[in-house]
Structure 1
Amino acid sequence: MIKELDISKIDSIMKIWLETNIIAHDFISEDYWKSKYDFVKKVLPESTVFVYEEDGEIRGFIGIMEKSYIAGLFIDTQYQANGIGSSLIKKCKEYYPILKLDVYAKNLKAVKFYKKHGFKIERERENDETKETEYSMIWELQ
């Protein structure tokens, strides 16, 4: 079931956020993600966050900022490749006519996922903090 985040469960989604970032971005130091943890936890409630919950357990979530920017899509590693990410993207497409995001070029699995869902690469640039190449991608309602 997809619903908006109950803020009392923020620790559950932060656990998914940290673990997934470390695994998906093995080309970036684990310490980088750990250093961002407190900041993300603080600003996350300012976003619209949809969670995918089953049997009382959060299995994934997506955060939307400024009514169009996907700040992150994270699925618990044991539930990846089960359609949860696709369900969360589909839910967002019901609410927002334009969706944008930035994704690391080396995160091939994510780039492929977003392309499968109709996102197109708009531009390529270097991330100021990590110095890694990122793609800015966009999806627009047709």
Structure 2
Amino acid sequence: MIKNLDICKIDDIMQIWLQTNMDSHDFISEDYWKNNYNFVRKILPESTVFVYEDEGEIKGFIGIIEDSYIAGLFVSQEYQHMGIGSKLIERSKKYCSTLKLDVYVKNSNAVNFYKKHGFKIIEEKEDEETKEVEYSMIWNL
């Protein structure tokens, strides 16, 4: 079931955020993610966050800022490839007529996932913080 973030479950959300980032971005130091943890935890409640929860367990979430920018889509490792990410994207498409995001080129699974959901690459650039190449992608209704 997809619902809005219940702030009392932010620690569960943040564990998914941290672990998924470290698993999916092994080309970036784990320290980078750990050093950004408190910042993300602080700003997350200011975002629109849709949570996929099943039987009381949060299995994934998507955060949208500035009414259209996907700041992140995360599904716990053990629940990936079960359609949860697709459900979160589809829910977000009902909320926004345009969705934008940046994704690391080296994260080919994510790039392919977004392409499958109709996102188009509009730019290739270097992330200022990590120095990794990323795509800017967009989806329009």
TM-aligned CA deviation for residue 3 of structure 1: 0.2
Corresponding residue for residue 78 of structure 2: 78
Aligned length: 141
Corresponding residue for residue 27 of structure 2: 27
Q: Does 1:58 align with 2:58?
A: yes
Q: Normalising by the residue count of structure 1, what TM-score does the alignment of the two structures yield?
A: 0.99
TM-aligned CA deviation for residue 140 of structure 1: 0.2
TM-aligned CA deviation for residue 55 of structure 1: 0.4
The amino acid of 1:111's aligned partner reads V
The amino acid of 2:50's aligned partner reads F
Corresponding residue for residue 48 of structure 2: 48
**Residues in 1 aligned to 2:99 and 2:29: alpha-carbon distance in whole angstroms:** 28
TM-aligned CA deviation for residue 95 of structure 1: 1.1
**Residues in 2 aligned to 1:130 and 1:93: alpha-carbon distance in whole angstroms:** 29
TM-aligned CA deviation for residue 128 of structure 1: 0.4
> What is the CA deviation profile of residues 40-94 of structure 1, one whole-angstrom value per residue up to 9, with x for unaligned ones?
0000000000000000000000000011000000000000000000000000101
Q: Percent identity?
A: 70
The amino acid of 2:85's aligned partner reads G
**Residues in 2 aligned to 1:127 and 1:6: alpha-carbon distance in whole angstroms:** 31
The amino acid of 2:113's aligned partner reads F
Corresponding residue for residue 115 of structure 1: 115
Q: Does 1:133 align with 2:133?
A: yes
**Residues in 2 aligned to 1:112 and 1:105: alpha-carbon distance in whole angstroms:** 10
Q: Does 1:13 align with 2:13?
A: yes
Runs (4+) off by over 3 Å: none
Corresponding residue for residue 98 of structure 1: 98
**Residues in 2 aligned to 1:44 and 1:13: alpha-carbon distance in whole angstroms:** 10
> What is the CA deviation profile of residues 80-116 of structure 1, one whole-angstrom value per residue up to 9, with x for unaligned ones?
0000000000001011000000000000000000000
**Residues in 1 aligned to 2:137 and 2:74: alpha-carbon distance in whole angstroms:** 17
